[in-house]
């Protein structure tokens, strides 16, 4: 597998984005914040998701978990992000005022019942991961945050000795968010960048856009 530096994640913090310029910079996948808790929807979600897709960038919407009712969070995320059967989506689990593993598990179960595939789970920075994940959560594909070398513009700036996120890795991952100081054309200011662990860019996009096996 190759580590493909073709992924960004954005939220309201990035403001207006020139998605055509982002695609021209080589980005193929965008993780976009859609919702948080049971009521918040990112004001930029509609424009970001539409703009990215129009530019030919695969979109993975993500939900930031709180300790609100997990079924209500799943319903809010599903409705606001327009999740459909087979869609790729992510759950962001971090911080101190967030869901318990049991609540995350319940939200994931509710989403699987609608979408038919498990979430992409975001957790893994030492000190910010709230607790030990449930057994069900450990079956999810992973999007791991681990900044081995501070705020760097892109993966070419990563020192050779830091080109794996863990030493040794505790398990497989699909995406590794390696910096919160990335630089990408079309985005004003710093942006989170991730590498995808896939055979090639087409395989990565296919995972994001195609229904899971058996759908």
Q: What is the pLDDT of residue 92?
A: 96
Q: What is the pLDDT of residue 170?
A: 61
Q: Spell out the residues 6+ positions from residue 8 whose beta carbon is closer than 8 angstroms to its own.
A: 22, 27, 29, 30, 31, 182, 184, 187, 191, 192, 193, 194
Q: What is the pLDDT of residue 124?
A: 84
Q: What is the pLDDT of residue 212?
A: 47
Q: What is the pLDDT of residue 82?
A: 95
Q: Per-residue confidence of the chain (215 residues) as pLDDT tens digits?
A: 899 999 999 999 999 999 999 999 999 999 999 999 999 999 999 999 999 999 999 999 999 999 999 999 999 999 999 999 999 999 999 987 889 999 999 999 999 999 999 999 999 877 778 888 999 999 999 999 999 998 999 999 999 999 988 866 566 899 999 999 999 999 999 999 999 999 999 999 999 986 644 43
- Secondary-structure percent of the chain, ordered helix, strand, coil, rounded to 5: 30, 25, 45
Rounded to an integer, what distance in angstroms lies between the CA atom of residue 75 and that of residue 70? 9
Q: Spell out the residues 6+ positions from residue 43 whose beta carbon is closer than 8 angstroms to its own.
A: 12
Rounded to an integer, what distance in angstroms lies between the CA atom of residue 91 and that of residue 75? 13
CATH for 2-209, options being 3.20.20.80, 3.40.50.720, 3.30.470.20, 3.90.25.10? 3.20.20.80
End-to-end CA distance of the chain: 25
Q: What is the pLDDT of residue 6?
A: 98
């Amino acid at each position: 597998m190759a580590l493909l530096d073709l992924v960004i994640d954005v939220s309201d913090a990035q403001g207006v984005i020139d998605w055509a310029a982002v695609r021209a910079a080589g980005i193929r996948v965008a993780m976009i914040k859609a919702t948080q808790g049971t009521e918040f929807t990112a004001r930029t979600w509609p424009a970001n998701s539409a703009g990215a897709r129009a530019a030919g960038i695969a979109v993975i919407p993500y939900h930031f978990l709180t300790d609100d009712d997990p079924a209500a969070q799943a319903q809010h995320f599903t409705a606001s992000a327009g999740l459909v059967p087979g869609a790729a989506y992510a759950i962001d689990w971090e911080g101190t005022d967030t869901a318990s593993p049991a609540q995350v598990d319940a939200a994931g179960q509710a989403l699987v019942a609608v979408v038919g595939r498990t979430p992409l789970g975001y957790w893994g920075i030492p000190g910010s991961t709230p607790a030990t994940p449930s057994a069900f959560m450990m079956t999810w594909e992973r999007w791991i945050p681990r900044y081995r070398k501070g705020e760097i513009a892109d993966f070419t700036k990563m020192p050779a000795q830091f080109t794996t996120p863990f030493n040794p890795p505790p398990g497989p991952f699909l995406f590794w968010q390696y910096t919160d100081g990335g630089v990408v054309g079309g985005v004003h200011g710093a942006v989170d960048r991730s590498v995808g662990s896939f055979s090639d860019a087409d395989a990565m996009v296919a995972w994001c856009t195609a229904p899971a096996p058996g759908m």
